[in-house]
């Protein structure tokens, strides 16, 4: 994984610099999401949800922030990034502050099936953790994850996240049961 400074982005081609690339891993670039990424972000999350029985993405009713991922997360005091594989969005992740001092929350980590196993998820986690430390002065990361997302749990545990006791029962169309994971940064 290669994190790029703003100066490094300026040395790239003009079209790459214009995309505000913040990381690169193999043929994958990571950049800040814009609101115009909405359709591709929704398509990716829908693709991931379709792998799990009962997972339903109701954007307008339950996840309206996906209609404007760049500005919606900025309004929350956070950030939203996308990974692009050959010009197509193949991963997402978001970061928001929490009400607890020193605690930041990772959200929306989704990797397309075709991009898994290539380091995209780890690159996005690295970016979120680094940004939480540097920009939010966070010393703890937390996240909620659907109990069906076993591959994601393995990734979090490899990265040092600890599953907390208890379950969160969501009143959503997917009847989600979520685990809470935390990691000291």
pLDDT digits (tens, 9 = 90+) for 4-28: 333 333 334 444 445 678 877 668 9
Residue 25, pLDDT score: 66
> Which pLDDT belongs to residue 13?
42
Number of domains in the chain: 1
Per-residue exposure over 22-55, b if at least 16 CB sit within 10 Å of its own CB, e if not: bbbbeebbbbbbeeebbebbbebbeebbeeeeeb
The two tokens of residue 60 are 């307008």
pTM: 0.88
The answer to whether 147 touches 179, Cβ cutoff 8 Å, is: yes
Q: Residue 12's domain spans which residues?
A: 2-184
123-162 pLDDT, tens digit each: 999 999 999 999 999 999 999 999 999 999 999 999 999 9
CA distances from 157 to 53, 60, 70, 94, 161 (A): 24, 32, 28, 19, 5
| pLDDT (tens digit per residue) in 30-54 | 999 999 999 999 999 999 999 999 9
CATH number at residue 103: 3.40.630.30
Q: What is the pLDDT of residues 70-126, one digit of tens each?
A: 999 999 999 999 999 999 999 999 999 999 999 999 999 999 999 999 999 999 999
């Amino acid at each position: 994984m290669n994190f790029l400074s703003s100066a490094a982005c300026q040395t790239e081609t003009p079209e790459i610099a214009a995309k505000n690339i913040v990381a690169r891993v193999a043929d994958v670039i990571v950049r800040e999401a814009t609101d115009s990424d909405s359709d591709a972000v929704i398509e990716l999350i829908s693709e991931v949800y379709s792998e799990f029985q009962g997972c339903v993405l109701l954007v307008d009713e339950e996840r309206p922030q996906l209609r404007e991922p760049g500005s919606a997360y900025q309004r929350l005091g956070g950030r939203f990034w996308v990974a692009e594989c050959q010009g197509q969005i193949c991963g997402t992740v978001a970061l928001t502050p929490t009400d607890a001092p020193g605690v930041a929350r990772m959200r929306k980590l989704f990797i397309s099936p075709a991009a898994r196993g290539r380091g995209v998820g780890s690159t996005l986690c690295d970016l979120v953790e680094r940004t939480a430390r540097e920009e939010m002065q966070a010393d703890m990361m937390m996240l909620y994850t659907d109990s069906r997302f076993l591959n994601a749990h393995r990734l979090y545990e490899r990265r040092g996240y600890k599953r907390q006791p208890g379950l969160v029962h969501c009143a959503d169309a997917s009847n989600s049961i979520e685990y809470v994971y935390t990691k000291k940064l």
